[in-house]
């Protein structure tokens, strides 16, 4: 049995070659302690270790159980997190959400944060690790909370990442409030159950699917009550499902700005308030004059746009050379602004 033969076991089961290569590497590192350095050095695998890796590859191919469940860990932002069937496996796109949250927290010197639907605790732990913020992670699943606690323990974050059982804000202490709320909630509508990948079916269903047909159930719950626990000047951040940005934006606009938010009865108070919002929007957009745009035909057909343009201002070469932003990130920033409106 060779490494190539193990790779073939995975590809013959329908796993894409690139994905199979990554998974064989993960299996070798975890079960045989064999990595790139060993390959470069020409180190040989023992027959026993190779057989163990083959057995795990056979299990992956036969059951299509995610490789992260087989090894018991998933990589997230440079750390290994314990994962099991009680929690979602952390995804790469969630790293975008966390990195932006870390940037906002550090820039504003925020001290308190709330992670709604914490699952494995990966969001809460990485925010605690990379900021001075104390964060509370809430989840309705006891098994998920136990996993989150184990992950916080492994990263020595006991005093910075705290986990409690709560259905959204139900068990948040009266009077407790936060500078920032982050959530990667369930957002897949029931009608999509038959279309998801086989591996995703191993994730806890309650962490994936909503009861409503648009996947907005938890966005509505969180945005509807966030003002009760969000500090003035605070932020509300979400990970979104594909095609949900406009609906979530509309939900947030239900609790939009009123004259009470202006902070003054001065005739020009609204103008100064708008100026603050424009400054924040510029910062959240990257301060590089990139503008998210949408074609008229996309707007009329309620489709998401995918293009950016840059203004005709005389920008520095550094600004002009910056890569176009991922649209999902821009939409998230736009929604951040909508949430910030209520708290200015």
Domains parsed from the chain with CATH numbers: 3-64 (no CATH), 76-255 (3.40.50.150), 269-332 (no CATH)
Using the CB atoms, write b or e for 62-100: b if 16+ within 10 Å. Answer: eeebbbbbbbebbebbebbbbbbebbbbbeeebbebbeb
pLDDT at 80 > cutoff 70: yes
C-alpha to C-alpha distance for 270 and 254, rounded to whole angstroms = 19
pLDDT at 344 > cutoff 50: no
Residues 6+ apart with CB under 8 A from 20: 7, 10, 11
Which pair of tokens denotes residue 35? Answer: 């990595």
User: Tell me, what's the pLDDT at 264?
Assistant: 67
pLDDT at 133 > cutoff 50: yes
Q: What is the mean pLDDT of residues 83-87?
A: 96
User: Tell me, what's the pLDDT at 269?
Assistant: 67
C-alpha to C-alpha distance for 105 and 2, rounded to whole angstroms = 48
Residue 342 sits at the vertex; the CA angle it makes with 330 and 126, to the nearest 5 degrees, is: 55
Indicate the range of 28-42, 48-62, 165-179, 258-272 predicted with least confidence: 258-272
Question: What's the whole-model pTM score?
Answer: 0.72
Length of the chain in terms of residues written: 344
pLDDT at 257 > cutoff 60: no
Residue 52 has a CB neighbour count (10 Å cut-off) of: 16
**Which of 49-63, 219-233, 290-304 shows the highest mean pLDDT?**
49-63
CA 189 to the chain's CA centroid: 18
pLDDT at 337 > cutoff 60: no
User: Tell me, what's the pLDDT at 11?
Assistant: 95
Could you tell me the maximum CA-CA distance found in the chain, to the nearest angstrom?
81
User: Tell me, what's the pLDDT at 291?
Assistant: 59
User: What is the pLDDT confidence band of residue 253, given thresholds at 50, 70 and 90?
Assistant: confident
Mean pLDDT of the chain: 83
E-strand stretches of 197-298: 230-238, 290-293
- Residue 150 and residue 120 in contact, taking contact as beta carbons nearer than 8 Å: no
pLDDT at 44 > cutoff 70: yes
pLDDT at 38 > cutoff 60: yes
Indicate the range of 15-24, 237-246, 323-332 predicted with least confidence: 323-332
């Amino acid at each position: 049995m060779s490494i190539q033969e193990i790779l073939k076991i995975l590809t013959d089961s329908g796993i894409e070659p690139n994905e199979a290569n990554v998974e064989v590497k993960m299996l070798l590192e975890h079960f045989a302690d064999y990595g790139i350095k060993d390959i470069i050095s020409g180190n040989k695998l023992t027959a026993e270790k190779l057989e163990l890796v083959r057995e795990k590859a056979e299990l992956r191919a036969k059951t299509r159980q995610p490789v992260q469940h087989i090894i018991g860990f998933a990589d997230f932002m440079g750390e290994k997190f314990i994962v099991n069937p009680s929690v979602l496996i952390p995804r790469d796109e969630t790293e975008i959400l966390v990195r932006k949250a870390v940037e906002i927290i550090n820039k504003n010197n925020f001290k308190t944060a709330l992670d709604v639907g914490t699952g494995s605790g990966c969001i809460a732990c990485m925010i605690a690790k990379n900021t001075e913020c104390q964060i509370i992670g809430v989840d309705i699943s006891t098994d998920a909370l136990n996993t989150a606690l184990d992950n916080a323990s492994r990263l020595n974050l006991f005093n910075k990442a705290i986990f409690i059982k709560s259905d959204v804000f139900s068990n948040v202490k009266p009077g407790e409030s936060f500078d920032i709320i982050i959530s990667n909630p369930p957002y897949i509508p029931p009608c999509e159950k038959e279309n998801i990948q086989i591996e995703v079916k191993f994730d806890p269903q309650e962490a994936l699917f909503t009861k409503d047909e648009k996947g907005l159930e938890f966005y509505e719950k969180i945005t509807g009550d966030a003002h009760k626990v969000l500090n003035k000047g605070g932020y509300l951040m979400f990970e979104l499902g594909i095609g949900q940005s406009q609906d979530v934006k509309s939900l947030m606009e239900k609790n939009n700005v009123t004259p009470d938010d202006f902070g003054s009865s001065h005739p020009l108070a609204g103008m100064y308030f708008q100026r603050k919002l424009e400054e924040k929007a510029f910062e959240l957009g990257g301060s590089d004059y990139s503008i998210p745009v949408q074609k008229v035909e996309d707007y009329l057909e309620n489709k998401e746009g995918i293009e950016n343009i840059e203004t005709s201002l005389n920008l520095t070469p550094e600004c002009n050379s910056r890569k176009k932003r991922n649209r999902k990130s821009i939409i998230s920033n736009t929604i951040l602004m909508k949430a910030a409106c209520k708290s200015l």
